[in-house]
Structures are given as C-alpha cells and as structure tokens.
Amino acid sequence: ELQLGESGGGLVQPGRSLRLSCEASGLNFDHYAMHWVRQAPGKGLEWVSGISSDGRTVAYADSVKGRFTISRDNAINSLSLQMDSLRIEDTAFYYCAKDRIRFLGPNWFDSWGQGTLVAVSS
Amino acid sequence: EIVMTQSPATLSVSPGERATLSCRASQPVFTSLAWYQQRPGQAPRLLIYDSSTRATGIPARFSGSGSGTEFTLTISSLQSEDFAVYYCQQYHNWPPYTFGQGTRLEIK
C-alpha cells in the first residue's frame, strides 16, 4: 500500500527556517515526480513546489521562490522542503503529493500524505 | 496564472439527491482539469482527472464533464460520506498548478 508521511512541522518565528520531510513507502519512489501543496487553516489548496523523479527539474510558486528549496533522496525514498525566511503567511498544513509520472508537466496529484502543520508566529 | 473559480461556495443537498458543482477557468484549459475531495481532518483525495476520468476506486456516482473554461462535477445520489469540500485543479498551464477555492457540500 502506498503511504506518504510528512514530518518536521512546528512553531517557528518569522525569519527563521524549517525543514520538512516526506517519507514514501509502497511505491517505486524514483519513478515519480513529487510535489508540496499547502493549505492555510480553513482555506483552500496552494501548490508550492514540484520536483522531477531524478531531481533535475524543480519548480516553485512565486510566493516561495527564492526562500524554499525542494529536494529528494531516492536512495531513502524521501522528499524534503527547506523553508527559509519564513513569513506569517507561510502558516499552513503542508502536504506531499505524488505525481502520476516522472516529469513535471501537465499532471494531477494522485496520492497525498496526511500533512504537517507549520505555524509561523512571534 | 490561470485563476480557478468554483461555485457555489456552499451547497446544501439532501442525502440521495444529486449535487452539481461548478468550476470555471480564467483561460481555456482544454480538459486538463482534476477534482479532489477533502473530508474534515483528512488529506485531499483525487476523484477525477482529464475532466471526466474517474480515478482508481472512485464510485460511479461521481462524474465530471466540461472542457475549455467550464467544468462540472456531479454526484448522482449523495451518500453520507460524500459531504466534504471539493476542489478543482487545472494543470494545462503550469507552473503554477492552480486550485479553485473549494465548494463545501453540506447536508440539507
């Protein structure tokens, strides 16, 4: 059974950093592009970042470009999101989501983790 | 960036009745549209992709239609577990992939 499990969330002050992880099991992790999607409490979904299966292609939402870095380690079936210079508006549940194919492209997200909460507050 | 607009924001329907949810794109997205269901406290779940193709394990009472800028998700006979929030997402023009603001389907 495919499982995605996020970790690393917590309370952090504005301007500080946090690193999220997503551990995958039950799939050939290196066969699929992966994404981070966030949801502010009580709000809708916002795509944050995506990475191809080999890690060579990445993409970011304008709202996080230059502050967040996505990466993956296929040897340990892990996806990461390094979040620097955090802002109050980055407060959200962060979900990792699996793409349907290897490449970033016109794709949907066919499996999601349960999310981890990041709260940015002074 | 393509803006996705869903209507209505909240829809009240009785169990066993039909629900029709709408999604509009600010530019044509052809059939590059997906629908997700999110139950309270849970992660989103893929229902429909390519506007009308049901994802694996999704019951036949869920159907999608539309192309270009206008899309519809229909749930033919509402079950208790269907009361949730529904999101549309376009993937024709990316990045970014963009979602609608959601429609909350509640019990009437």
User: In the prediction, which pLDDT does A78 show?
Assistant: 98
Q: Which of A44, A104, A108 sits opposite B34 (nearest CB)?
A: A108
d(CA A97, CA A75): 19
d(CA A36, CA A94): 7
A-proximal residues of B, 39-98, CB under 8 Å:
42-46, 49, 55, 87, 89, 91-92, 94-98
Distance from CA of A121 to the nearest CA of B (A): 22
Tell if the CB–CB gap between A50 and B102 is shorter than 8 Å.
no
- Give yes or no for A47 touching B (CB within 8 A): yes
B-proximal residues of A, 63-82, CB under 8 Å:
none
Backbone dihedral angles phi then psi of residue A121, each to the nearest 5 degrees: -155, 150
Tell if the CB–CB gap between A114 and B99 is shorter than 8 Å.
no
Largest pairwise CA distance in chain A: 41
Per the structure block, which two tokens stand in for A35? Answer: 């994404």
What is the residue-level pLDDT of chain A in tens, covering all 122 positions? 999 999 999 999 999 999 999 999 999 999 999 999 999 999 999 999 999 999 999 999 999 999 999 999 999 999 999 999 999 999 999 999 999 999 999 999 999 999 999 999 99
Tell if the CB–CB gap between A108 and B46 is shorter than 8 Å.
yes
Measure the CA dihedral A100/A118/A59/A77, to 10°.
-50
Collect the ranges in chain B with pLDDT lower than 70. none
- Give yes or no for A46 touching B (CB within 8 A): yes
User: In the prediction, which pLDDT does A73 show?
Assistant: 98
User: In the prediction, which pLDDT does B28 show?
Assistant: 98
Backbone dihedral angles phi then psi of residue B70, each to the nearest 5 degrees: -120, 125
d(CA B90, CA B88): 7
Among the listed residues A65, B60, B40, the one whose alpha carbon sits nearest the alpha carbon of residue B48: B60
| Beta-strand relationship, B33-38 and B45-49 | antiparallel
> Chain A contacts of B55, Cβ < 8 Å?
110
Distance from CA of A73 to the nearest CA of B (A): 23
What's chain B's average pLDDT? 97
